[in-house]
Amino acid sequence: MTDNTPIQKNLLTRLAEALAALLIFLLPVKMALMVSIPEMPMDYPYDFWSIVLINWPMPVFAVLSGLLLLLTLAAGWTEDIFRRNQNHLCTEQERKRFFPWMNLYGGVWILAGLVSFLGMINASCREYADQMIYYTFGVISFTLSAGMLLKRNPRIVKVFTGAVLAGLVLAVLVGIDQYFFGFQELENYLKEQAAEAGVDQINGKLQINLDEKRITSNFAISNIFGGYLAALMPLLAAVIWRFASERVQP
């Protein structure tokens, strides 16, 4: 059986690919806040509108990434069983293509996860170290899952790219809304709170931030949002160029 032999997708594979694409889309939309703030409790949404409107805390990403990894591994096992039942024996090369711990790529990521436990030694805030370890394993699970799915089905890269760009578009739209409407709404709200507290003016640092109008979109700070835009501009330009070149004749 060669590497070019088509692999029949099962339900688990489709679910894993759909969850991976959904996570890629949601990362800049719902999961772009600080990973952890020492000695600060996390705000978990419990009702429908809270889930829709506010950003999600980091453990949600870690849990979803872990679920994605389990789905991806289960999909690999079931596809291997299907091929055995069809008298197609899986070669060692095909197993290495799917299961990450059998090659250097997966080994490096797993080693990074194990090294993260060193952060617990003499940690002044144990909760912060725990949260960073959760986040590290979430990144590892997501990265390994995406890599395995791409190796299994390279064509899914188009779906993943679309998810990346959809998240980018939504993040930019949120930033535009923040610039034209969000800052003014926030300023009005802070003034109301200050008046209720018997204070004449907004805290000086908050007022400076409002006057500067540095867009953060769904991100924690404006610099991270700017780095996100800078990182994805080449991808967006490449997609636009390819789309236009296929449809516009010189």
DSSP of 78-134, one letter per residue? HHHHHHHHTT-PPPHHHHHHH-GGGSHHHHHHHHHHHHGGGGGTT-S-HHHHHHHHH
Residue-wise pLDDT for 109-166, tens only, equals 888 888 989 888 888 888 888 888 888 999 999 998 998 888 888 889 999 999 999 9
Max Cα distance, the chain (Å): 79
Q: What is the mean pLDDT of the segment spanning 4-14? A: 66
| Helices 58-85, 126-152: crossing angle, 10 deg rounding | 30
CB 194 within 8 A of CB 54: no
Domain ranges of the chain: 11-152, 162-247
- Predicted TM-score of the model (pTM): 0.79
CB-based burial of residue 20 (10 Å sphere; 0-12 exposed, 13-18 middle, 19+ buried)? buried
Instruction: Give residue 36's pLDDT.
Output: 63
Instruction: Give residue 183's pLDDT.
Output: 82
CB 42 within 8 A of CB 130: no
How sure is the predictor about 41, in pLDDT bands with cuts at 50, 70 and 90?
Answer: low
Smallest CA-to-CA distance from 38 within 139, 137, 126 is with: 126
How sure is the predictor about 101, in pLDDT bands with cuts at 50, 70 and 90?
Answer: very low
Among 18-22, 53-57, 134-138, 233-237, the minimum mean pLDDT is found in 53-57
CB-based burial of residue 236 (10 Å sphere; 0-12 exposed, 13-18 middle, 19+ buried)? middle
